[in-house]
Amino acid sequence: MFLNYRFQNIINKRVSISAHKLVKQEKIIFSNLEKYKQKVLTFPHTFFSKDEKQILRTIDNFDSTGALRIKVSVYSQTRSLLKEYFDHRVNSYLSRRIRVGNYFLLRGLSFYIFRKQEYALLLVKQVKYELLQAQTFLNKYLDAKVVPNNEEKILLLGLLDNYKQHLLELLHAVNQAERYLPYGEKITHSDYEDYMKCCQYIVDIFYKLYIHNQLPLNLSSVKLGIKEITSYLYKKIRLNNSGFIDVNTLLIKMYREANNAHEIALLCIKLTKHYQRGIRWNIIIGIEYGGIEIPFALNTFLKLNNQKESFRIYLVNSTYSSDLSKTVRKTKLESAITKFPNLINKSVLILDDNIVTARTIKKVISFLKKKGVRAVYFACIGFSSEELSVHMKKYRHGCVHPDFINSIETLKPAPFLYRLKQGDHYRKGVYNPIEEQIERYLRQTYSRTNFKLRAS
Q: Of 2-11, 105-114, 193-202, 324-333, give the lowest mean pLDDT range.
A: 2-11
Q: Where a domain ends, among 254, 270, 305?
A: 254
Residue 1 falls within a domain, yes or no?
no
Structural Rg of the chain based on CA atoms: 23
In this structure, the answer to whether residues 331 and 388 fall within a common structural domain is: yes
Q: Where a domain ends, among 197, 228, 254?
A: 254
Residue 85: closest CA among 132, 19, 21, 26: 132
In this structure, the answer to whether residues 262 and 384 fall within a common structural domain is: yes
Using an 8 Å Cβ cutoff, are 250 and 323 in contact?
yes
In this structure, the answer to whether residues 17 and 157 fall within a common structural domain is: no
In this structure, the answer to whether residues 246 and 121 fall within a common structural domain is: yes
Report the pLDDT value the prediction gives residue 21, as an integer from 0 to 100. 44
Residue 34 falls within a domain, yes or no?
yes
d(CA 197, CA 193): 6
In this structure, the answer to whether residues 204 and 94 fall within a common structural domain is: yes
Average pLDDT over residues 6-28: 44
Reported as a pLDDT band with limits 50, 70 and 90, residue 413 is confident
Using an 8 Å Cβ cutoff, are 344 and 199 in contact?
no
Using an 8 Å Cβ cutoff, are 317 and 361 in contact?
no
Three-state SS at 379: strand
Helix (H) or strand (E) holding 236: helix 226-240
Report the pLDDT value the prediction gives residue 255, as an integer from 0 to 100. 62
Residue 2 falls within a domain, yes or no?
no
How many of the other CB atoms lie within 10 Å of CB of 96? 24
Domain count, the chain: 4
Which among 236-240, 322-326, 423-427 has the top mean pLDDT?
Answer: 236-240
| DSSP E strand stretches across 318-374 | 347-354
Q: Which domain holds residue 451?
A: 423-456
In this structure, the answer to whether residues 22 and 156 fall within a common structural domain is: no
Report the pLDDT value the prediction gives residue 454, as an integer from 0 to 100. 45
In this structure, the answer to whether residues 241 and 301 fall within a common structural domain is: no
User: For residue 443, what are the contacts with CB-CB under 8 A and spacing of at least 6?
Assistant: none
Q: Of 36-45, 57-66, 179-188, 352-361, give the lowest mean pLDDT range.
A: 36-45
Amino acid at 138: L
Report the pLDDT value the prediction gives residue 155, as an integer from 0 to 100. 94
In this structure, the answer to whether residues 221 and 237 fall within a common structural domain is: yes
Report the pLDDT value the prediction gives residue 206, as an integer from 0 to 100. 94
Report the pLDDT value the prediction gives residue 14, as an integer from 0 to 100. 43
Tens digit of each residue's pLDDT (9 = 90 or more) over 389-400: 666 666 666 665
